[in-house]
Structure 1
Amino acid sequence: MFLNKKWGNSIRGKIIDFYFKEEKEDGSLKTVGYYVKHNRGKLLNELVKNQVESIDEIKKIDLDGYQYNKEHSNENEFYFIKPFEK
């Protein structure tokens, strides 16, 4: 949980679950266990290092090709998906 003095689009008192998926050639999404733990640590590092204070700032983070995906995400679950590359 992150705290912020701003209102509206703030992170104050909000719990968000983060999911990291990789898109496969057929368009399906797969969780790669090693990268989940690795990317959660990198995400936390980015949040602290850049003093992220808003939901919108989180959505802009790119972690080695994993990007926020609005289609799969909701208010409490953020999906970061790495697109399939041929």
Structure 2
Amino acid sequence: IDKNSINAKIINIAFKELKNDVYKIIGIYAKRARGLMVNYMIKNRLTEPESLKDFNVEGYQFRQAMSDDLTWVFTRD
């Protein structure tokens, strides 16, 4: 997707795992977490992006301190 051609706010979601005392994106886990989040959105009939911050499946939780307006970070220990 060419983000510059879309006239909308796009929020990036990052799923990070704690590994060696550092949070890192681990591809296979991030891919699974994206699927879990989509399932969560469908099951809960979410219509507002802010509702995603309540996502807490399989130990993931939103981390405000690691996030900004355009990138929301969810971590799992």
Match of 2:41 in 1: 47
Q: Could you tell me how far apart the structure 2 residues matched to 1:46 and 1:60 are?
A: 10
- TM-score, with length taken from structure 1: 0.71
Report the equivalent of 2:5. none
Name the structure 2 match of 1:78: 72
Paired position in structure 2 for 1:24: 19
Unpaired stretches in structure 2, ≥5 consecutive residues = 1-7
The offset of 1:25, in angstroms, is: 4.6
Cα offset, 1:48, TM superposition: 1.7
Give aligned pairs, total: 70
Q: Percent identity at matched positions?
A: 33
Q: TM-score, normalised by structure 2?
A: 0.78
Q: Which runs of 5+ in 1 are unaligned?
A: 1-12
Alignment RMSD (CA, Å): 1.5
Deviations 1:36-85 (A, max 9, x none): 111111101111221112233110111210111001111111110012xx
In the other structure, the counterpart of 2:9 is: 14
Match of 2:54?
A: 60
Runs of 4+ deviating beyond 3 Å = none
Please give the alpha-carbon distance, in whole angstroms, between the structure 1 residues aligned to 2:35 and 2:19: 23
Normalized per residue, the structure richer in helix is 2
The residue type paired with residue 67 of structure 1 is: Q
